Structure 1
Amino acid sequence: MADSKRPASPTPSERKKLDAEAKQKEDEEQSKLPYKWTQTIGDVDLTAPIPANIKGRDLEVKITKTGIKAGVRGQEPIIDGTFPHPILPDDSTWTLETTPTTPSSPIGKELAIHLDKTNKLAWWPHVITSAPSIDTSKITPENSKLSDLDGETRGMVEKMMYDQRQKELGKPGSEEEGKMAMLRKFQAQHPEMDFSQAKMG
């Protein structure tokens, strides 16, 4: 008789089904947001459709280190809340861009906001803390950066990013001493790379 206190681990096929269901729920939640957003390890970009008759002066966009409020003046904000992590407001920007108009998409403009992360080793679960979360453990680091590294180094960088996420969740990361030793070795082998902004445990 199975111990009811410890549910059996899901089989690979069950795990795949659970992951697919979680992803579908996540996608549905994200699709209901009034904006779309993407991220790299270093920044976050979001876009929101704007009526074609709106000019830049009709918009109100306030970006601070810890939060954002953006939308059309006098209307409900498109986004208004606190970031999960601080940003660099001086390196963050917004623009009002014209989009090609099609019969299925009559909206002719979009608000584009670029946010520069302070912590370059953290994935964001959402743009603002009141929005639905995504599962950051399922994010694959952008290949354009990591594919330039050799296998051992790439593994170390991915491990560092994993440890950072674990730390933010209040969970123990992998061996801190070994990680520091690996980083020191890597720095010695690659003096051309700047690690001054890297945040370690």
Structure 2
Amino acid sequence: MSTSPTPSEREAKDKADRAREAEEQAKLPYKWRQTIGDVDVDVPVAANLRGRDIVVEMTKTKLKVGVKGQEPVIDGPLPHPIHPSESTWTLETSSSSGKEISLHLDKSNKMQWWSGVTTNAPYHLDTAKITPENSKLGDLDGETRGMVEKMMYDQRQKEMGKPTSEEEGKMAMLEKFKKQHPEMDFSGAKMS
């Protein structure tokens, strides 16, 4: 019979896992970070390189990055699809003594964490342990924002014992119907 770890044992294991992941990620020939909506990758290259010396191929499901005539730094299938037309790359002077290829990958699924830049990367994150950043309503697209605002409004209304937006809509339709049909008796009508 096994016992589940205590909170302090679990915290120590999580801390050790994060340290191991950070060490593994540091061994990669590039740096990467993600938000729920995108992935940014920085690949260091020599300072004398120009844009024409760089090879970047981005498709919906594959990424290849490197220097012409050399083995690619990144070459493999993406863990999840991207929007290639919304994804970009630039060659920039880095804070160290070289340059870096900076890639911005726009995730197709804005609700999915990636465990790595490619599925063949040597190290992967445990996505179950990712703590999402706080997001603002303004960060959401119009349709999602409207849906979230409606849910928040309905939640506040329920907490105050008031009708939700759907119930308000039904009551407004009933009032309109009553005005259109004054000959009808609605004294016994019940809303459900």
With structure 2 as the length reference, what TM-score do the two structures score?
0.70
1:111 alignment partner in structure 2: 101
Aligned-partner Cα distance in 2 for 1:146–1:29: 34
Q: How many residues align?
A: 149
2:114 to 98, 102, 124: 124
- 3-state DSSP of counterpart to 2:23: helix
1:137 counterpart = 2:128: yes
Detail structure 1 runs of 4+ shifted over 4 Å in the superposition.
Answer: 146-149, 182-185
1:14 alignment partner in structure 2: 9
CA change 1:59–1:147 in 2 (3 A) is: closer
* Structure 2 unmatched runs, 5+: 155-164, 166-192
- Report deviation, 1:13: 1.2
**What is the one-letter code of the residue matched to 1:136?**
T
Q: Which has the larger radius of gyration?
A: 2
CA change 1:56–1:147 in 2 (3 A) is: closer
* Percent pairwise identity: 58
With structure 1 as the length reference, what TM-score do the two structures score?
0.67
* Structure 1 unmatched runs, 5+: 150-156, 158-181, 192-201
Aligned-partner Cα distance in 1 for 2:115–2:133: 16
Aligned-partner Cα distance in 1 for 2:111–2:62: 19
> What are the Cα deviations for residues 46-66 of structure 1, in whole angstroms up to 9, with x where unaligned?
001110011110011000000
